[in-house]
Amino acid sequence: MIDPRLDKSIGAASPKSQSVEKTPGPTGLRLSPPDRLLTTSSPKPQISDNKHVLTEDIVHREVTPDQKLLSRRLLTKTNRMPRWAERLFPANVAHSVYILEDSIVDPQNQTMTTFTWNINHARLMVVEERCVYCVNPDNSGWTEIRREAWVSSSLFGVSRAVQEFGLARFKSNVTKTMKGFEYILAKLQGEAPSKTLVETAKEAKEKAKETALAATEKAKDLANKAATKQQQQQLV
């Protein structure tokens, strides 16, 4: 039931496609004990904390004989496509994405591994993300986050443009995700998010908008160049 790529490096297991791009995400240090983070089952922001999450359902959960908790969640999120790609999909599905998230919580070793990927819009773009949460070797009171992402596209002629857009969006989403961690951990500890955190989140949101806009413009340029090249080849 749980994706086998969750428990191994998925570099060799990424789906074969016309174009694949891998990017390492930032390694984060969390000022929170690992055991407290593991009690959340999933560190991602919940529906009440994230307006972009429309639905969230746990479709599978089990405890293994070696006391590991395996879970699979199905989420629906708002994730608007770039305007130049919206015409490829019906209006009712162009603004939402369905995501599967598999996770393994290992309380004995104080680690949690998550693997997420989208199950619709796969022809346009597939984004896979693998995160490992573990004890920081230099400070046992900190949680270290190791994050990787794989972006692939099978659209002939514009796959590079799609990848550029996907990578930029992933990087901007990482910043917002880290702020979500801060919010959730503060709630678990019975603390209100600090004013500084709220201000930082607003700044991150503005920066994410700027990054997404720049990525969209770059993707448009690459798509236009690809279209021009195809037209020239047809005329020859």
pTM, to two decimals: 0.64
- What is the span of the domain harbouring residue 108? 20-235
With beta carbons less than 8 A apart as the criterion, state whether 28 and 144 touch.
yes
- List, in order, residues 6 or more apart from 192 with CB less than 8 Å away: 186
In a domain, 195, yes or no: yes
In a domain, 182, yes or no: yes
Per-residue confidence of the chain (236 residues) as pLDDT tens digits? 666 666 543 333 333 333 444 444 445 545 456 666 666 555 555 544 556 788 899 999 999 999 999 999 999 988 766 676 666 666 665 678 899 999 999 999 999 999 999 998 888 889 999 999 888 888 887 888 888 889 888 877 778 877 887 888 788 777 777 777 667 666 666 665 554 455 555 665 666 666 666 666 666 676 666 666 666 665 65
With beta carbons less than 8 A apart as the criterion, state whether 8 and 65 touch.
no
Q: How far apart are CA 69 and CA 75, in angstroms?
A: 19
CATH for 212: 3.30.530.20
With beta carbons less than 8 A apart as the criterion, state whether 72 and 59 touch.
yes
With beta carbons less than 8 A apart as the criterion, state whether 197 and 191 touch.
no
- Counted domains in the chain: 1
In a domain, 11, yes or no: no
In a domain, 2, yes or no: no
- List, in order, residues 6 or more apart from 97 with CB less than 8 Å away: 76, 77, 78, 79, 118, 120, 121
In a domain, 169, yes or no: yes
Report the pLDDT value the prediction gives residue 156, as an integer from 0 to 100: 78
Angle at CA of residue 148, ends 147 and 153, nearest 5°: 145
In a domain, 3, yes or no: no
Q: What string of DSSP letters covers 39-108?
A: TTS--S--GGG-TTEEEEEEEEEEE-TTS-EEEEEEEEEE-PPPHHHHTTS-TTTTTEEEEEEEEEEETT
In a domain, 27, yes or no: yes
In a domain, 1, yes or no: no
Phi, psi for residue 156 in degrees, rounded to 5: -65, 130
